[in-house]
Amino acid sequence: MQSRLKIYNSLSKVKENFEAINPPHVGMYVCGPTVYSDVHLGNVRTFLSFDIIYRYLMHLGFKVRYVRNITDVGHLTDDSDDGEDKIGKKARLENLEPMEIVQKYTNGFRKVMQQFNILEPSIEPSATGHILEQISLIEKLLENGLAYETGGSVYFDVNKYNEKHNYGKLSGRIIEDLIAGFRDLDGQDEKRNKADFALWKKAVKGHIMKWPSPWGIGFPGWHLECSVMSTKYLGDTFDIHGGGMDLKFPHHECEIAQCVGANGKDPVKYWIHTNMLTVNGQKMSKSLNNSFLPEELFSGNHSLLDQPYSPMTVRFFMLQSHYSSTLDFSNDALKAAAKGYKKLINGLSICHDLKYTSSEDETPSEQQQSQVDQIIANCYHAMNDDFNTARTIAQLFNLLKKINSISTGQLSGGQLGKEHFDKLIITFKTFVQDILGLLEEKPVDFESFLHILLEVYAEAKNNRQYDKVDEIRTRLKALGIVVKDMKDKIGWAYEE
């Protein structure tokens, strides 16, 4: 039996202690974006952290069903049970259909995920696609006496729930403190208790996103969608649920209460929360005006940025810290990350070219072999220790030292032996590309390269080095490029 504490701890000692409910299958649910605006870099950090977890579990041989939702209704501007729907508000301001807003920002979100090489989830369900299921869950809670209807809205009865269960066990909050801390907001007078939260809200005049329900026209509370979609696709109890730390309360606390209240089962075995990306120590957030968009980062076009930074530089920068620590954005740290990233990528290109060679009289060195074994084991220890990418990267630099030594001839392939040589190369490539998801970014485009080559061509022609001129022509032709040697300039065209 799992102890309660372990259930609500993050996932430590992954390889040794992680117990999937139905091995080798793992169900993982991550709260996705609310699609009413562009994702900022803080959001990216959270989705990147779960991308690493997804990739590493797959690397370990688990078959992961990764569900990451799209919140397209029910997230109110106040984050409590008050205010306007974030998407509805944007639609009203821009005079668009809410689903146009949803489509626009979902597309934008997916594009950013691709730019950072964050893998697509297995299922990407949306809240508006699951209204019926949400209504069913509310009905169950009403049946179980844990919810009440008032004036066309339905609220979860936290006090009632607390008679048998423990509201606050995830976030460590105590219900009396919660009640004392609540501000008076609209709708509070409908609630029996200030800590109660909305399952269904009656649509007031002018509210755009609304559906019929047994309680009249309205819309679901924000916490409901995740309870419904996680259990629909992963079962009443599933392995991993994640999101940013700011979602621990009230969002995830409410999710637990809804699931336990409806199904009688704890929905989640392991909760994982990522810490915040900060700017000068403050959470990066749109409302604080200290956030920047990925596009601003790639162009360097923002007052906080000294220069542009590429997606993989940013990816590397984020992986240099553990997901549960805060990470402060700084230009210096990003510049250092750019160097670190390039070192690893140079290592990859060495790996692509490096061939195993050994002279006949060479015998492998046990010391060298055990050093390689140790570094490889350290890479796994680091990832197994709650996905510690920071320590993993440090170990990859140790592997890289060995690779560089072979490349420069200080260490010979024969000193490692074929098996260890292969292990070294494969482990390095696998960790950099598949587990950390770092792609090689081409620093210059094709045209810039061609331009340089055509300058060399022109120079050779001026110096009457016709052999060289012919060779460049021939070799480019073989690649489908024709040199256009015109009177006053040299250009190129695709071979027709």
Binding site for ligand AMP (CB under 6 A): 31, 33-34, 42-43, 45-46, 243-244, 246-247, 274, 276-277, 283-285
| Cα–Cα distance, 197 to 260 (Å, whole number) | 15
Q: Could you tell me the smallest distance in angstroms from the CB atom of residue 281 to ligand AMP?
A: 12
Q: Could you tell me the smallest distance in angstroms from the CB atom of residue 490 to ligand AMP?
A: 51
> φ, ψ for residue 79 (rounded to 5)?
65, -5
Neighbours of 483 (CB within 10 A): 20
CB of 77 or CB of 371, closer to ligand AMP: 77
* Tokens encoding 139: 């009905």
CB of 120 or CB of 176, closer to ligand AMP: 120
| Cα–Cα distance, 492 to 485 (Å, whole number) | 8
Establish if 254 lies at the interface with Zn ion (CB under 5 A).
no
Q: Could you tell me the smallest distance in angstroms from the CB atom of residue 226 to Zn ion?
A: 3
* Tokens encoding 93: 């301001």
Q: Could you tell me the smallest distance in angstroms from the CB atom of residue 174 to ligand AMP?
A: 23
CB of 249 or CB of 298, closer to Zn ion: 249
CB of 173 or CB of 343, closer to ligand AMP: 173
Q: Could you tell me the smallest distance in angstroms from the CB atom of residue 247 to ligand AMP?
A: 5
Establish if 131 lies at the interface with Zn ion (CB under 5 A).
no
Q: Could you tell me the smallest distance in angstroms from the CB atom of residue 449 to ligand AMP?
A: 38
Neighbours of 62 (CB within 10 A): 18
CB of 31 or CB of 268, closer to Zn ion: 31
Establish if 268 lies at the interface with Zn ion (CB under 5 A).
no
Establish if 203 lies at the interface with Zn ion (CB under 5 A).
no
Binding-site partner at residue 226 among Zn ion, ligand AMP, none, CB < 5 to 8 Å by type: Zn ion
Residue nearest to ligand AMP (CB): 244
Binding-site partner at residue 37 among Zn ion, ligand AMP, none, CB < 5 to 8 Å by type: none
CB of 33 or CB of 364, closer to ligand AMP: 33
Residue type at position 458: A
Q: Could you tell me the smallest distance in angstroms from the CB atom of residue 3 to ligand AMP?
A: 27
| Cα–Cα distance, 450 to 463 (Å, whole number) | 20
Establish if 226 lies at the interface with Zn ion (CB under 5 A).
yes
Q: Could you tell me the smallest distance in angstroms from the CB atom of residue 127 to ligand AMP?
A: 12
Query: How far is Cα of residue 337 from the mean position of the Cα atoms in its chain?
Result: 18
Binding-site partner at residue 127 among ligand AMP, Zn ion, none, CB < 5 to 8 Å by type: none
Looking at the DSSP assignment, which residues form a beta bridge with residue 70? 126
Q: Which of residues 6-65 bind Zn ion (CB under 5 A)?
A: 31
CB of 33 or CB of 168, closer to ligand AMP: 33
| Cα–Cα distance, 138 to 156 (Å, whole number) | 9
CB of 84 or CB of 362, closer to ligand AMP: 84
Residue found under tokens 């696709």:
233
What are the residues binding Zn ion (CB under 5 A)? 31, 226
